[in-house]
Amino acid sequence: MFRLLAVLALLLAGLAPASSGAATWNLTSFDGREYVPLTDVSQFYKLGLRFNQAGAQTQVLLASPGRSLRGTVNSKELFINEVKFILSFPLLAVGDMVYLSRNDLTKLIEPVLRPHRLRNLGAINTIILDPGHGGHDRGATSAFGVEKDFALDVALRAREMLRRRGFRVLLTRQADYFIPLEERTRFANQYRDNGLFVSIHFNAGSGVGTGIETYLMAPRLVPSYNGDGAPNAAELQQWPGNVCDPENMALATAMHSAMLSRLPLDDRGIKRARFHVLRMNELPSVLLEGGFVSNAEEAQKIAQPEFRRSLAEAIVVAIDNFKAATQDQPATPPPVARGEPGQNLDQIIREARSLSPAAPAPAQSSGTGPKVSVPSQN
């Protein structure tokens, strides 16, 4: 419960007007990728910045009352209010500065810290629940049951709870039959203007695999979490699911924190991938892994109705919190940028959504980079 309250405090903290101290973003390019120094992040979001040397590791903490971000140089793991996120690219140390990728600033930090500023959402009134697998596709199996049945049970429970809250709830399948992935996304995209998509799964792996994880669509030029690190054609393409990159992150944050508060399982983090139901969805979408069916101890828990009811409750709470954080408070339009029009943070976010990425600067730059005007935010 503490972790949920902490993350909710973080999400809702963005709803209160606050002026930002940073006047500029000092963009710097390394190996053709743009970065911002953590000093700029600290100033803009009003977070104190501290470094700690633990052996060979440099640990980073950005914090203010009610919210904290901590990570380690050369690592992709970032903890926001003690919930694990997986960055697109590791924190980078050059000289006496530590840098965050511009992609992670606009598509992770910004939508998590200020979800009320998302501009790509209609009035949320429709929820698409997608129970994974079905029919001949059983999914992960154990002596206690199979993934397809567990996923459908969670979806049916969540549907009733959401209906009582006034949502229109649609399921991609309502019984034990097979639905192709293409049909699932085709069905969901009918509700792109006012819907959310939640795909429900359970994990499989080695017998020691444990914990919950939440997936969202990987942004363009960002490797999938389960990739081998080598660039591929999928990373270069702008997929339908990239339309909602910031909204996906805000929804994933709400889902993952709600699951952590209700399920007695380890935190495997919020991750990016290009699963079909994420890359072809034009509405905010997440894929949940509610534990490991392949782990005997965890499979026993998943087989209990109380566990599946808790997961359904987490989905409902997350949707309520997402809607409250993004829509239930009026969002003030950003002020007009002065000096260098088109270069405030909101336009950086829009730029990150576009089909054409900014042209890369020369590799291995060691300077402070061009200064980009950012007006005070209200």
Same domain for 361 and 238: no
Q: What is the CATH number of the domain that holds 241?
A: 3.40.630.40
Q: Are residues 170 and 254 in the same domain?
A: yes
Q: Residue 315 domain-assigned?
A: yes
Q: Has residue 17 been placed in a domain?
A: no
303 in any annotated domain: yes
Q: What is the count of structural domains for the chain?
A: 2
Same domain, 322 and 336: no
Band the pLDDT of 229: cuts 50, 70, 90. Answer: low
For 74-95, the pLDDT digits (tens) are: 999 999 999 999 999 999 999 9
Same domain? For 266 and 353 the reply is no
pLDDT digits (tens, 9 = 90+) for 259-291: 999 999 999 999 999 999 999 999 999 999 999
* 281 and 197, same domain (yes or no): yes
The model's pTM is: 0.81
- State whether 264 and 363 are in the same domain: no
Q: Is residue 104 part of a domain?
A: yes
Same-domain pairing of 59 and 179: no
CATH number at residue 99: 3.30.457.10
Same-domain check for residues 336 and 304: no
d(CA 109, CA 100): 10
Q: Could you read off the pLDDT of 30-39 as tens digits, one per residue?
A: 988 999 999 9
Query: In this structure, are 189 and 261 located in the same domain?
Result: yes
Active site residues: 289
Q: What is the mean pLDDT of residues 58-85?
A: 96
Same domain, 224 and 304: yes
133 and 88 share one domain: no
User: What integer pLDDT is reported at residue 207 of this predicted model?
Assistant: 72
Chain segment 124-171, per-residue pLDDT in tens = 999 999 999 999 999 999 999 999 999 999 999 999 999 999 999 999
195 vs 362: which has the higher pLDDT: 195
pLDDT 10s digits, 48-57: 999 999 889 9
Domain residues for 191? 126-326
Q: Does 317 map to a domain?
A: yes
Q: Quick check: 343 pLDDT over 50?
A: no
Query: 318 and 336 in one domain?
Result: no
- The yes-or-no verdict on residue 2 having pLDDT over 90 is no
Please report the pLDDT score of residue 21 as a whole number. Answer: 46
